[in-house]
Amino acid sequence: MKISVINGPNLDMLGTREPSLYGNLSISDINKQIEIKANELGVEIDLFQSNSEGEIVEKIHYLHGKFDGFIINAAAYTHTSIAIRDAALSVSLPFIEVHLSNVYKRETFRHKSYLADIALGVISGFGYLSYILALEALVKYIKAQARA
Ligand code: DQA
């Protein structure tokens, strides 16, 4: 099973960026934790980060036919990007939207997601554990689909 984890803009600044909201771990610290969990679950993991909306769109297209699903923290693009929504719809792969912070505790502009209603589900507010929980859920979901 192959799963991609896509991170959007400013997540390359984790560790230094607003630690009271996003914690002290860098993106590479979080990626290490994801890799450990992927090993435990016996799945292949691909890790991607971009600050560019177009590159995220292209990355999602690339997954088509090669991956079984993906996890995405589209960061600020979650709240603005119809292009990323359309890309997700175009590949028809199961995916989970994640956020480190609980976006529903924050400004109202963060309550709008262009991905939530087409995602399998949303995990928001658990710091790096949001990714780990999403990986467990997505792998279970894909295995159950394969058995059905
Ligand atoms: C975020 C929440 C977004 O609102 C914000 O723009 C981010 C990070 C999170 O992981 O909590 O960049 O996606």
pLDDT, tens only, 87-122? 999 998 999 999 999 999 999 999 999 999 999 999
- Ligand 1 atom, smallest distance to 74 CA: 13
The atom of ligand 1 lying closest to the CA of 98 is: 10
Q: Write the pLDDT tens digit of every residue in 5-46.
A: 999 999 999 999 999 999 999 999 999 999 999 999 999 999
Domain hosting residue 92, numbered range: 2-143
The domain that contains 104 carries what CATH number? Answer: 3.40.50.9100
Token pair 């090993």: residue: 39
Distance CA 126, CA 25 (A): 13
User: Is residue 73 in some structural domain?
Assistant: yes
Question: Could you count the other beta carbons within 10 Å of the beta carbon of residue 127?
Answer: 17
pLDDT (0 to 100) of residue 22: 95
Which pLDDT score is estimated for 119?
98
pLDDT tens by residue, 43-91: 999 999 999 999 999 999 999 999 999 999 999 999 999 999 999 999 9
The count of structural domains within the chain is 1
List 61, 79, 99, 131, catalytic entry? 99
Distance, CA 40 to ligand 1 centroid (Å)? 27
Q: Is 22 a catalytic residue?
A: yes
Contact in structure between 134 and 92 (CB atoms under 8 Å)? no
99 is catalytic: yes
CB contact at 8 A, 83 and 53 = yes
Tokens of 78: 């979650």
